[in-house]
Amino acid sequence: MFQAITVAYDLSCAMRHIHSQKLVYRDTKPENAGFDVRGDIKLFDFGFAKELTKKLYDKPSGLYNLTPMTGSYPYMAPEVFAGKPYGCSSDVFSFGVLVWEMLHYKFAFYHLSKKDYGDVVVRNNYRPPINPSLPTVVRTVIKESLDPDPKRR
């Protein structure tokens, strides 16, 4: 478990750096993360990454008008799936799914079809149960990362 938590921390640092550059990654998933020869986590495949510009800013929501349905739906934030404005907090949701999977040794949403994902995760706010034996701070990070409200992530 310690190694998974360390990887999650390093991944969060990479995300923080990406977001500090006014970029949203939009495709966090296991296939886009790997390790270099030193064992450091790396994100690759920036094909969906998007610069957050003033032109894309949606003042009422405080988010950005970006292409909907970008990324892989089992890791996609509800607002992205629903075609609503979004921003860096959508990456936080994807991060939360990935961390949940690393610590539970199974996929969170892969068993759902795209339609079911929309019904269950997006509209009904289903989240997989978090193992109560995980440290409190880790459970909190996962829970807050998977919050349906992008402003609370």
By annotation, the residues acting in catalysis are 27
Q: What are the residues whose beta carbons fall under 8 Å from the beta carbon of 65, sequence distance 6 or more?
A: 56, 57, 58, 85
Ramachandran region, residue 24 (left: φ > 0; alpha: ψ -120 to 50; beta: rest): beta
Q: Look-up: residue for tokens 């759902």?
A: 112
* Cβ 29 vs Cβ 71: under 8 Å: yes
Q: With beta carbons less than 8 A apart as the criterion, state whether 109 and 121 touch.
A: yes
